[in-house]
Amino acid sequence: MTTTLNSLIAGAAPNARAIGAPGRAWMDYAGLRALSARVEQQLRGFGIGASDRVAIVLPNGPEMATAFVTIAQAAVTAPLNPAYQQAEYAFYLGDLQAKALVIPAGYDGPALAAAEPLGMVILRLHADTTSPAGEFHLTGPAAPTPAAQGRPDADATALILHTSGTTSRPKIVPLLQSNLAASARHIGQSLALTPADCCLNVMPLFHIHGLVAAVTASLAAGGSVWCAPGFDALKFFGWMTEAQPTWYTAVPTMHQAILSRAARNRDVIAAHPLRFLRSSSASLPAQVMVELQSTFNAPVIEAYGMTEAAHQMACNPLPPRAQKPGSVGIAAGPLLRIAHEVENRLTDGTGEVVISGPNVTPGYEGNPDANAKNFFEADGLRWFRTGDQGALDDEGYLRLTGRLKEIINRGGEKISPLEVDGVLLDHPAVQQVVAFAMPHAKLGEEVAAAVVLREGHSATEREIRDFAATRMADFKVPRRVVILDEIPKGATGKLQRIGLAEKLGLGTQSAGGAA
């Protein structure tokens, strides 16, 4: 059983393709394994041991992928968003207690400014675009005494990420070597990945979705991953032609942007057929799943993941088993059950989704209160509370109602924003929608929705509200519909409901609501 990242990629054919990128030669597995050995020796020379934490601030691309994979075989990785400001880096680097920072060779930005006062070891990554994709070497100050040799074992921490911290201080999530190995295997099994598969990665590589689902799962299967420099709907179909992938994985907003350009790229889709498409990190509206399947003539596999599970928890199965639009699929790795939302017990019907398995973090770092709140023992197992509300059908398919903290509480009436999304997306003019809670003076919260219209279509707020009123109870109909050119998104491309009312200037509404 593979339980570390090193053992995970040990079995692939040496000359098989591993890492690709635009305009670059492929790095094979022999090259990747040689790079891993060199990086380990370089880190030890810089005084970085197997338990030391190495923050990584690199742009998306093949070097970010190989930096993560190779450093995680030798130390503890902590990828950070390259778009952070200095104050954000100062917080995260200090909170992580990172010993070293990896930055591009010519970088002189806010991450460096935040790291220097902390006395961190600064390591610069040098890449040559004439070399195979992902090839690099590190430079930095030699340590007076090199760190001890030896690679981390299965119980060692491999990756540290923070939760989003939308409503509170971000929590530190340590993921073990065994957690990442288990999750990569689960994803590979769910998608039936083989050495013949190639993933086109457009996901940010400071995020668990890209790091594990695209990169690690591909390498664990002996397949390849072609690393784009970020997501760009205008370049996506050109990348398909160059990479010739068998699949890609993305968040729903990216899929919708790709769909908006698909009609003018039918020849590319036909010339480079995909085995499947994968969607995760946010609920994929049923209408979008159906449109993607029709456009690409391939199954759309929606998966359900989160950082604390080293990404994947549930996944819609490949054909011939049914994919159910609006469902995030069946348990795909960890055990998946429903728990009472307050009491520490498992239950039936609708409740909080809980998981238990080898890919689940052992617990938040330095946060006993969060661990007591989010973990509990039942039926002889340790369960993690996901914070999501949902229910399992008779075939074991999970349908999410929404994040518990995002459920709209309108004077005691609980409304699922996902249900509102689904109704508004049936309007022929609506391309994208996110329902959210808007403050209300008397009711506490009221329903609102942000909408992007389809190109060439028009609709007014009143028309959209009237449409919704014919399909759902009055208390669920949005009292405000804000029509936008683009809905604000988070760093990973996900739509964020919490805080959207404030961002859109929708303060406390009067008792009568909006007309």
Q: How many CB atoms lie within 10 A of CB 345?
A: 12
Report domain extents, the chain. 5-296, 323-402, 407-503
**Which one of 2.60.120.10, 1.10.10.10, 2.30.38.10, 1.25.40.20 gives the CATH number of domain 323-402?**
2.30.38.10
137 SS3 class: strand
Rounded distance, CA 123 to CA 115, Å? 11
Say yes or no: domain 407-503 is CATH 3.30.300.30: yes
Residue 513's pLDDT is what? 37
How many Å separate Cα 272 from the centre of its chain?
25
Written as six digits, the tokens of 265 are: 């790229």
Question: Is-contact 64 164, C-beta < 8 A?
Answer: no
Residue 472's pLDDT is what? 87
Query: For 5-296, CATH number?
Result: 3.40.50.12780
DSSP 28-80: EHHHHHHHHHHHHHHHHHTT--TT-EEEE---SSHHHHHHHHHHTTTSEEEE-
Q: How many CB atoms lie within 10 A of CB 267?
A: 10
Q: How many CB atoms lie within 10 A of CB 150?
A: 11
Rounded distance, CA 458 to CA 428, Å? 9
Residue 310's pLDDT is what? 97
Residue 354's pLDDT is what? 98
Q: 271: burial class by Cβ within 10 Å (0-12, 13-18, 19+)?
A: exposed
Residue 512's pLDDT is what? 37
Question: Is-contact 65 201, C-beta < 8 A?
Answer: yes
DSSP code of residue 405: G
Rounded distance, CA 79 to CA 66, Å? 12
Q: How many CB atoms lie within 10 A of CB 356?
A: 18
> For 342-346, which contacts have Cβ atoms below 8 Å and span 24 or more sequence positions?
344/376, 344/377, 344/378, 345/378, 346/378, 346/379, 346/383
| pLDDT by 10s per residue, the chain, length 515 | 668 999 988 889 999 999 999 999 999 999 999 999 999 999 999 999 999 999 999 999 999 999 999 999 999 999 999 999 999 999 999 999 999 999 999 999 999 999 999 999 999 999 999 999 999 999 999 999 999 999 999 999 999 999 865 446 789 999 999 999 999 999 999 999 999 999 999 999 999 999 999 999 999 999 999 999 999 999 999 999 999 999 999 999 899 999 999 999 999 999 999 999 999 988 888 899 999 999 999 999 999 999 999 999 999 999 999 988 889 999 999 999 999 999 999 999 999 999 999 999 999 999 999 999 999 999 999 999 999 999 999 999 999 988 888 889 888 788 888 889 999 999 999 999 999 999 988 888 899 999 999 989 999 999 999 999 999 889 899 999 999 999 888 777 777 888 899 889 887 554 333 33
Rounded distance, CA 224 to CA 201, Å? 10
Residue 514's pLDDT is what? 36
Written as six digits, the tokens of 426 are: 């049936």
